[in-house]
Amino acid sequence: MFETKIRFVTLIAFSLSLTVAHAQLPGDMTNDCVVNLDDIAPFAAVFVGNENSPTLQAAADVDGNGRVDGLDVDAFLTQIINTAQCDVCETLGSGFAGGSGTPADPYQICNATQLQRVDDFLNANFILVNDIDLAGINWTPIGFTTFGDSVIHYDGVFDGNHHRVRNLSIQQSNTDVIGLFGKLGPNAIVRDLGVENVDLHGKLCVGGFAAENDGLIERCYVTGTVQGATFVGGFVGDNRALMQDCYAMVETTGSSSVGGFAGVSFLSPTYVRCYSTGRVIGSSSTGGLVGSTIGSHTVLSCYWDTQTSTTNASAGGDGKTTAQMKQQSTYSGWDFSSIWQITPNTYPRLRWE
């Protein structure tokens, strides 16, 4: 910490002035849509504790972990070195920000309207180029269908590209298949995407990230609250395929087959290096990680927090105390050099966050 502060003493000498403004992107302390030398002094003031403005505090939380600490320093310096600028979001003739939808040239998504349009191109490939805020949006899950349908689903490659979709709210207590994604098909791949602050209320098959997964989800996470009746999961309501290197911090409520990560494992899915921490509330077949199984499943090096979830039961995974969940030694076989990171007294996070 002392060495880090010394680095900023040197950098401050090159800064021009302190401007109190709302950040347009992580590290943009002066609200000018670019991260450069002008941002150093206000960042340093927050970092050393001399500036308590909530707006500047939020701007200085470059890594998005809810506090300003040493983890933000390298991220901030990277923003300066790259002269990070706001993305310009345009809608082209295709209805997206660029690309042709092929594996080599995926459609680019930069706003909520374009993201919803994915539902009209269920076999195409996409990449996010912005974080997206869905607050106030009347959202239809991508690949929305009836439960168990084998025809309608998203079946392409969706690259989150280290971006977040935030503030998704769906309040449809009598509707099945609720999530950011409805159903992911057998050829679907979704990677490197954060889904933050969901608030979902559905009926059968509800998941913060996806209602039903028949494809591959990797290096993704979800936070928020999820409520339903049956097959309710913090991350996915009904998992039928592969999920790896993912986590859920979601309070999950339902009647049966309710899990902090997955509501139900159907057929023979696999979970690898995943965890959940959210409170789980249900009447029957509840689990800290997985609520129930129909058939069999494979669970490798997956964990849930027995204290924050308020349950010692799960259809799969290993339950650990909060203290154990915040120790790297707990996570057998996890890659903490290129995929995961962990700092003292925190849960693991994906390195791309």
- Averaged in consecutive runs of 10 residues, what is the pLDDT profile of the chain (353 residues)? 44 34 65 80 91 84 88 88 76 93 95 97 96 96 92 96 97 98 98 98 98 98 98 98 98 98 96 98 97 96 98 97 98 97 96 96
pLDDT at 82: 77
Pair 155, 122: CB distance under 8 Å: yes
Q: How many CB atoms lie within 10 A of CB 126?
A: 26
Unique residue bearing structure tokens 């591959």: 216
pLDDT at 32: 61
Domain boundaries along the sequence of the chain: 2-81, 131-350
For 307-316, b/e burial (b = at least 16 CB within 10 A) is bbbebebbbb
pTM for the full predicted model: 0.77
Pair 202, 177: CB distance under 8 Å: yes
Please count the residues of the chain: 353
Cα–Cα dist 185/240, whole Å: 10
pLDDT at 227: 98
Cα–Cα dist 46/120, whole Å: 45
The backbone region for 331, taken as left when phi is positive above 0, alpha when psi lies in -120 to 50, beta otherwise, is: beta
pLDDT at 31: 67
Q: Measured in whole angstroms, how far is the alpha carbon of residue 234 from the centre of its chain?
A: 12
| CATH 2.160.20.110, applies to 131-350 | yes
**CA distances for 154 relative to 104, 129, 241, 248, 299, angstroms:** 18, 19, 14, 21, 25
Pair 214, 184: CB distance under 8 Å: yes
